[in-house]
Structure 1
Amino acid sequence: MTEALDADVIIIGSGAGGGTLARALAPSGVSILVLERGDYLPREPANWQAEEVFGAHRYHTRERWRDSAGHTFHPITGYHVGGNTKLYGAAVLRRRVEDFHARQHVDGSTPNWPIGYAELRPFYDEAERWYYAHGLAGADPTEPPRDAYAWPPFAHEPYIAEVAQRLQALGLHPFALPLALHWDAARPQHSPCIRCDSCDGFPCLLHAKGDAETCGIAPALLHANVRLLTRIRALRLHTDVNGSQVTSVDTDSPAGARRYHARVVVVAAGAVNTAALLLASANTRHPRGLGNGSDQLGRNYMCHLNSACIAIDPRRRNPTVFQKTLAINDFYHTSNRADFPYPLGHIQNLGKVTPAVLKAQRPAMPWPLARWAAQHSVDWWLTTEDLPRADNRVSLDADGGIRLHYQPTNEAAHRRLVADWKNILKRLGYTLVFTQRMGIEAVAHQVGTARFGNDPAHNVLDTDCKSHELDNLYVVDASFMPSIAAVNPSLTIMANALRVGAHLRQRFAQGDWHVEVKNG
């Protein structure tokens, strides 16, 4: 590289992957430049206003993507320091041991991962400590082997505690949902978290959420060798003449275009935008997209099959404020039915639905009905695993716009999960149960577009999440995942970023890029 370097490492994106990696590399002393397309999410009263968050989509992008038929839609995603963790529900679950191996579903099998749970276990431990994960080891019967959580689980409010007891009476195994929130039950007066009803899906006005800004970028910026530039959008990566290394990143910003140079480039823009960026970086050496000799870049897009569920017992009010504390995995590995021996998925509480949330989602609903429904409901989120398919992919239109080709799999399993859960809720006395399936625009759990594996002919990345074809190009968002499992992907992204961070520190220490690395 003959150009002057702007940093040893450029990280594109500051979400669960990029933000975690920045913190992981910061103590090494290598110079790090984080390029974030968005800005800091503003702290303002609207953070807690349902009509702004869910109705006006104040914190989501205004851009439009196209589906396979060419119809446009607004993706429910945002560009901020901290990425989509700024608005996530903070549920942080580890993949099950079985999720790293081929598993048969109603619509096919998942692929094996090139690594197993044992390789990620120490990084799961570290990610949970960094992100304030609260939970109770051993309470979830499907949970992989682990040590105790650093912080105890969030206690259920009385109504939800009773729901848990009633589920146990039916032979189920409800457990405390692991949550990434800065809360100290022993000293609540000193905790940023106040257990409010504006958490799940809202930005946290108090910075109490364990997100990638507060737990990744902010600690990283305490080191003088780390810089963050906001409102900088990466447009294209350039390589040397041999196409074996990335040399620079073209960007655009309100101040104009600029090219940045680094020894190592890490892309962490989210599974869709990472694929789009690498596809847009095609050159004569990489005519189908950067590092895309396998023709797998952009392919195998997965996104959970998700349904929201509102269960109403007209006889009882639910006074719960902080509701998202309960989860059930009894249907994670199997439906428990001989006629359908396939996994169904995962169930967890939603944050408490309020009248304002209902009105934001259903503007035509009369206020009296919204108030009544919210007062009598308990609310759930149902998740089924999606399978990788080559035709489910990200591509670029002639104008450079993103096109998302997507047809979900395992829909029969998801329908069973929804139907079985409705029946259970009705046995508990919830006579009115409503569900809503999420559509293509719900891309919060996007994974798989640059999957990792040992075979360069079938994978974009190697087991260290480095491009098979470029020696200094890495990806640390959810793009690397060969399968999505049925639990929230955030913690696995964070843990894998820590794993890749350890690998990069080792490469720098070995002198691969001739930079002095600190041991601290």
Structure 2
Amino acid sequence: MIIDDQYYDVIIIGTGAGGGTLARKLAPTGKKILILERGELIYRESSELVDTEVFKKEQYHAKDAWFDNEGEPFYPQTYYSVGGNTKIWSGVLQRMRERDFEQVQHQGGVSPAWPLKYQDFEPYYTEAEKLYQAHGKVENDPTEPPHSEAYPFAEIAHEPMLQSIGDTLSQQGLHPVHLPLGVGDRGRTDAEDTGVSPVLTSDNVTLKTSAQVVSLHTNPSGAEIKAVEAKIGGQSYLFLGDIIVLACGAVNSAALLLRSANEKHPNGIANGSGQVGRNFMKQLLSVVVQLTASANSGTFSRTLGLNDFYWGDKDFPYPLGHVQNSGGILQDVIFAEAPPILSALSRLMPNFGLRQLATHSIGWWLQTEDLPNANNRVHYVGDKLRIDYTPNNVEAHDRLVYRWIDVLKNVEATQPSAFNRTTHPRSDMPIQVLAHQCGTCRFGEDPATSVLNLDCRTHEVHNLYVVDSSFFPSHASVSPGLTVIANALRVGDRLIQQLSS
């Protein structure tokens, strides 16, 4: 094993929304920072897909198998590159709703309150929107929380077909809005172009790619991390630093803590509570396809969202969730996980090729909050990484799907020549799709029931932090990316204070 001859003030493991943002925040301190990334630096935005390559099975999946409840292997849709999963995200930068931070009764159970509230995150949401160049507009959304400042850039216009749908929704008394999107000179902003790449010219920042972190090593007392072990090119290296930050994603951060077990931490580092890996959540995600009579480009952005059913409906007093268009199907990476949709479209439109199917349809993403459950967990069985996960809050999600299909039918009835109203194919995202994963290292004030304190530092190891979505004590129905970014900026302020003392 090779011991690196450098000593770092901060070692950041992972370069996604959390790690990449934190690197950008800390770089101006002049402190010596090492960034370790399992993947490579890819300058081309991975979400800029070429035609029908999006439909190639498992193009954006990890090569290492994980295992499900039944012990069956699967290859997760998680992206290893500088920028992490933000290289294949939609760029939607939504704030959690103010009530999402409170305890909420759902049809499927209780979503617990957060120990911090919306007002604690609001300044960092604003900072995050500026950093990631959010284009948006505060509109007549019944759930939109208060903003201290307007979005830094104007909203992205809808495609004509979507604008027409939005106008019809408004006429029906609903409240369609422009989704806030991160857009820069190179297209959608991500954690590589916004977080990591801008700081690589700094003398105090070092990036090592193809560096798979395999273990954390503590001092003899177990009170602090003394070294990070990573494999680079088949060789094992030890990197030494004062502050260690995990930002590997909710599954991989928990997995790293678990497999780093030692004499002082026999159940995994920082796992005295037994909560590491517990309460794994991933939103209930479905895609519904609306068939159109005329063609579209197949490559337009997600721009239209709707939250009228976020907290329920007239016939259902429990939260349902969020709706947004998928963007052009030819550029939607996660849509590739919905092969039943493609089969249904082929049967409905037998004379159309794959490209024509995609360009004569509009996809709609429906997102419902998944509730924390200690039995939904990340853990090891021998050397196999296992994700035990059973969806919950399913009735609420099904009701959202049916409610939205009713809305689409009403829209189509006003424009009968614009739509092929044969049916509305639906597909639910399987365990392989880990979009919006969170919750495996929840933060809180009680070390018996949480892994991290309110600064996202582990209760048991005083120099170890986690800044990805692992810290969420509950999920919301909006996309979590902006909250991860905002939290990384918040934790960054705490670390800057610590580094300057």
Match of 1:160 among 159, 162, 169: 162
Distance 1:450 1:45 in 2: 29
The correspondence for 2:450, drawn from 447, 459, 467, is 459
Q: What is the Cα deviation at residue 3 of structure 1?
A: 9.5
Give the distance between the partners of 2:29 and 2:41, measured in 1 at CA.
Answer: 26
AA matched with 1:104: Q
1:151 correspondence with 2:186 = no
In structure 2, the partner of 1:20 is 21
Residue 389 of structure 2, aligned match among 406, 415, 418: 406
Residue 347 of structure 1 is matched in structure 2 by: 323
Q: Who is 1:92 aligned against?
A: 93
Secondary structure in 2 matching 1:462: coil
* Structure 2 unpaired stretches of 5+: 413-418
Whole-angstrom distance in 1 between the partners of 2:332 and 2:317: 40
Q: Does 1:138 align with 2:132?
A: no
Alpha-carbon distance between aligned partners in 2 of 1:75 and 1:46, rounded to the nearest angstrom? 17
Q: Deviating runs (4+, > 6 A) in structure 1?
A: 355-360
* Mapped contact 1:47–1:53 kept (Cα < 8 A): no
Match runs of 1:265-304 below 5 Å: 265-304=244-283
Confirm or deny: 8 A CA contact 2:48 2:331 kept in the other structure.
no
- The letter for the 1-side match of 2:174 is L
Q: Does 1:509 align with 2:485?
A: no
| 1: CA distance, partners of 2:358 / 2:378 | 38
When the two structures are superposed, what TM-score results if normalisation uses the length of structure 2?
0.92
Which stretch of structure 1 is more off in the superposition, 39-48 or 142-151? 39-48
Contact 1:359 1:370 in 2 (8 A): no
Separation in structure 2 between the aligned mates of residue 328 and residue 108 of structure 1, nearest angstrom: 24
Match of 1:170 in 2: 172
Cα deviation 1:430-476 (Å, max 9, x = unaligned): 52211110011110211000000000000000000000001100000
- Any idea what SS the aligned residue of 1:303 has? coil
Q: Matches of 2:112 and 2:236 in 1, distance apart?
A: 41
In the alignment, residue 352 of structure 1 is paired with which amino acid?
A: G
Q: Which amino acid aligns with 1:180?
A: G
Structure 2 counterpart of 1:109:
110
- Per-residue CA deviations over 1:367-423 (Å, capped at 9, x if unaligned) read 725455434322210000000000000001212x31000001110000000000001
Are 1:487 and 2:478 counterparts? Answer: yes
Residue matched to 1:70: 71
Aligned residue for 1:118? 119
Q: Is the 8 A contact 1:176 1:326 kept in 2?
A: yes
1:446 aligned partner: 437
User: For structure 1, which segment, 155-164 or 481-490, has the greater mean C-alpha deviation from structure 2 after superposition?
Assistant: 155-164
CA-CA distance at 1:53 after TM superposition? 3.6
TM-fit CA distance, 1:4: 6.0
In structure 1, distance between residues paired with 2:231 and 2:194:
27
Q: Which residue of 2 aligns with 1:381?
A: 365
Structural mapping, 1:253-268, within 5 Å: 253-268=232-247
Name the residue aligned to 1:324: 302
Distance 1:152 1:44 in 2: 23
Range that drifts further, 479-488 or 55-64: 55-64
Alpha-carbon deviations, 1:103-146, whole Å to 9, x = none? 01011111111111111111111111111111002342211100
Change (3 A) 1:462 1:170: same
**Aligned pair in 2 of structure 1 residues 41, 272: CA closer, same or farther (>3 Å)?**
same
C-alpha deviation, 1:323, in angstroms: 4.4
Query: 1:68 corresponds to which letter in structure 2?
Result: N
- Tell me whether 1:209 sits opposite 2:209 in the alignment: no
Alignment identity in percent?
45
In 2, are the aligned partners of 1:51 and 1:359 still within 8 Å (CA)? no
Kept after mapping to 1: 8 A contact 2:298/2:358: no
CA separation of 1:216 and 1:310: change in aligned 2, threshold 3 A: same
**Is the 8 Å Cα contact of residues 139 and 176 (structure 1) preserved in structure 2?**
no
1:421 to 396, 401, 404: 404
Q: Does residue 1:36 correspond to 2:37, yes or no?
A: yes
User: Which residue of the partner structure matches residue 312 of structure 2?
Assistant: 334
- The number of residue pairs the alignment matches comes to 482
Which residue identity lines up with residue 82 of structure 1 in the other structure? Answer: G
Q: Aligned partners of 1:29 and 1:436: how far apart in 2?
A: 49
| C-alpha contact 2:369 2:477 (8 A) present in aligned 1 | yes
Deviation at 1:57, TM superposition (A): 3.2
Q: 1:304 to 1:359 in 2, by over 3 A?
A: closer
Is the contact made by 1:46 and 1:52 (CA closer than 8 Å) also made in structure 2? no
Counterpart for residue 514 of structure 1:
none
Q: Which TM-score applies when normalising by structure 1?
A: 0.88
Contact 1:308 1:382 survives alignment (8 Å): yes
Given the superposition, is the C-alpha separation of residues 109 and 49 from structure 1 closer, same or farther in structure 2, using an over 3 Å criterion? same
Counterparts in 2 of 1:415 and 1:326: CA distance versus 1, 3 Å = same
Distance 1:29 1:359 in 2: 43
SS of the aligned residue for 1:11 comes to: strand
Q: Which amino acid aligns with 2:468?
A: D
Q: Secondary structure at the match of 2:451?
A: coil
Give distance in 2, aligned partners of 1:272 and 1:319.
Answer: 36
Equivalent residue letter for 1:381: W
- Consecutive unaligned residues in structure 1, runs of 5 or more: 183-191, 193-206, 511-520
Question: Which of 431-440 and 450-459 deviates more?
Answer: 431-440
